[in-house]
Structure 1
Amino acid sequence: MIGMLGYAPNIQLFGRRWCAHTQMLRRYLDRLGVPYVYRDMDRDPQARAQVRWWTGRDVNPVLYIDGNVLVEPTLEEVNWALRSHAYA
């Protein structure tokens, strides 16, 4: 899906399959029809390393939207980030 600015934002969700917060965010993005890449931190060491580089710790979920890094975001924070990129 293309945002109002004419491009699809680079959205990546870093998380774990067993994490309820991660799964809730995946379902939420799916319901909104937002295209994203899911990075499983248990199976992808590079994803885990990227989160540690951003945050200094091993935390999930982390949502990356066009340069914004949201750590354990609320739905309000996710909506804000999507709107700030003219996506929602």
Structure 2
Amino acid sequence: MSIVDVTPVPTRWAPRTRTVPVAIYGNRWCGITQLIRRALDRAGIGYDYVDLDEHPSVHARLEALAGGRLRTPVVHIGGEWLMEPSLRQVQAALARHGVWL
């Protein structure tokens, strides 16, 4: 479940059906955020994306969740929160939910 009440930007290439809910909170200028988004797009895994530059109010909520200092991206996969994960960490979290990247 998402912690924000904003309308996420639907992904361009991924189908809207998914086996596990995925949300990415990040910035357009963040290389790790874009790397993860491209990998999910290529794999056809649907996700919601919240650009923190466009929704600054979300930043404070994520900081509280992170215990103070927020580093992007924040990825939410099936109830699991990942703070500034590598692509390998995202792959492992998806695998725990039966989704392979």
Whether the TM-score (by the shorter chain) exceeds 0.5 is yes
Cα RMSD of the aligned pairs, angstroms, is: 1.4
**Scaled by the length of structure 2, what TM-score is found?**
0.74
1:27 maps to 2:38 = yes
Aligned structure 1 segments of 4 or more residues deviating by more than 4 angstroms: none
Larger RCO (CA under 8 A, 6+ residues apart): 1
Extract unaligned runs of 5+ from structure 2. 1-16
Corresponding position of 2:27: 16
The structure with the largest helix share of the pair is 1
Q: Give TM-score scaled by structure 1 length.
A: 0.83
Name the CA shift for 1:86/1:75 in 2 (closer, same or farther; >3 Å). Answer: same
What count of residue pairs does the alignment treat as equivalent? 83
Contact kept? 1:40, 1:47, Cα under 8 Å:
no
Structure 1: which 5+ residue stretches go unaligned?
3-7
